[in-house]
Structure 1
């Protein structure tokens, strides 16, 4: 995780108002765009990326590809920019929580099936357009309302591959609890990686925990590669 505080500053046409959240790959701010009199979400990537000479071109290429995605279950990207060694994405601002937060309460099977269907539809659309997400997990899904999930962070994992090399963090970009075996091994990935991660997320929604747990992230990654998937019926015998 990196430390950066831009509240009160301006990036491009956007005045940063407050911090929404932070993860290992980016800091998200609420920002105001005076030209269109609207609030947006600004996702700012780590400054270390400026050390990679090829990142600027890769970032622009990925941002343009992601911005073309137009699906009701994908959070739209409005624009992108680079300033003072910082790269950022401009997205629709959604005053909402995440699916991860929603999973703190019991979820019915019909509800789980509907949420999974919508995310699956978004992934199918993205894959048909040649884009793989690479980091499907509940915290990357915003809930615009009770039954409307929005998948975020398309392309971010691919953009961050250079940061992983520069900082020496882990075997690959992604989240160990949801990482596909091929991704965990640093192999080439395709749309099946996203489907695997969606399946892990489905398991978690139904059972209440992810199928593989261990004391360290690397141990979790190794379980994805070598361990058989636990049967949901064993973890929850009362499943219909």
Structure 2
């Protein structure tokens, strides 16, 4: 059984003015809200339980899911209306809603891709966590060793390097961009108990990558779009047509 979480609690500031009246998860792409697109992709991959965290215009998401009978899936809501907990804090709060014996696949609500989530989940359950990564250009890269184990992070604009390994040489590492799709094991999730209520998931992974294997998975034919900003939203329908024709 696959279980999954959709990060849908963000404020969606990059999608203003649309998100002045709706949550990012309800922004339509090719006629369907982003939340429906991710739920259906997870359902097709075999997800039997999906947790959705909510904060910004939370009622619009919960009402939409209820009105559509949760699209025939077991969807549970992790309510962050009192305080937005960031990605790591959101996952920590949601963990009691999952079966604590199985890994959780996590998917940002604003990501569209050609990834087979079932294949990704089935092939990477043995690691402490697995991050789907790509070679796209960015300012902030994850650093991996020769065996694709996470060892750090680098901002190429400022030169800042973060790592639990002292004297890490970023130049000797493999550099990849994070995709917003990842898997976390029950053991690694249990390490979040020492984290505060609010924290970023990448801060957590960087804090424990020397204690548990955080694996990087690079899909060579990856087609992925982050539609969390206005300038990419207008190209999303074309992108969907491309990945659907490829598949």
Question: With structure 2 as the length reference, what TM-score do the two structures score?
Answer: 0.26
The structure with the largest strand share of the pair is: 2
User: TM-score by structure 1 length?
Assistant: 0.26
Higher relative contact order (CA 8 A, sep 6+): 2
